Every structure is written in structure tokens, then in C-alpha cells.
Amino acid sequence: MNIDFVVLLDVYGEILSNGQREALDLRYNSDLSLSEIAEEMGGISRQSVNDFIKKGEKRLEELENSLGIVERFKNTAAGLAKLRGTIAELKKDYEDERFSLLESTLLEMEKQI
């Protein structure tokens, strides 16, 4: 499984401990080193930061494996993109205002996800 911890953190971050969430946020969203994260987190050890990160990553993977929210989101987005392409092809071949209605409905659905 190709893991994008930035996305997983956005979806499941509130479930993590404060230390795990902060360490992962600083690592993946701010791209800080272990030393920089340790300093930002009040001077804790690099080993503590590493532990927060490893345990947080493991927890995020467990949550996604159990709940599958990110995978379902990706599948839904891919399906909507495929529909958008099919509608665009049909609009080229047929003049029917219903395709515009489908497009606008699809756009609203995409905004909701």
C-alpha cells in the first residue's frame, strides 16, 4: 500500500495522541528534521520524536486498514473523474442539455468530497 501520511494525518489526525499528531505534522507538513521537531516540541529527545512518529505512523496505517476512508475517497474521486470524461465525450457527439445537467450535478458532488 502506497502510504501518503499527509492525507492520513488530515483524515485521522485528531484520533492520535497530541505528541504523535504534533510530531507527524512537523515531519510531514513542515518537513522538519528529528532535531528540529525535538526543539519545536519543547526540547524533548530525538528518540522521543522518533517514537512519536513511528507509533503515529503505525496508528494511521491501522486506522486506514480498519476504516478505509482514504481508499474509499480515492476510489470515489477516480470514479467521478471517469464520469466527467465520459460526459465530456458524449457532449461532443450529442447535443443534449441533459449532459450539462449531469456535469453540474457531478461538479456539486466533487465539491462535497
pLDDT digits 0-9 by tens, 49-105: 999 999 999 999 999 999 999 999 999 999 999 999 999 899 888 888 898 889 899
Give ∠ CA 34-31-48 in degrees, rounded to 5. 25
Residue 61, C-alpha cell as written in the block? 496505517
Cell 510530531 identifies what position? 23
| CA neighbor of 25 nearest in space, from 78, 105, 17 | 17
Residue 2: pLDDT over 70: no
pLDDT digits (tens, 9 = 90+) for 16-54: 999 999 999 999 999 999 999 999 999 999 999 999 999
| CA neighbor of 24 nearest in space, from 1, 48, 47, 54 | 54
Query: Domain 5-67, what fold?
Result: Arc Repressor Mutant, subunit A (1.10.10)
Supply the pLDDT for residue 54: 97
Q: Whole-prediction pTM value?
A: 0.77
* 29, 19 contact by CB (below 8 A): no
Provide the 8-state DSSP code for 83: H
Please state, in angstroms and rounded to a whole number, the distance separating the CA atoms of residues 31 and 50. Answer: 14
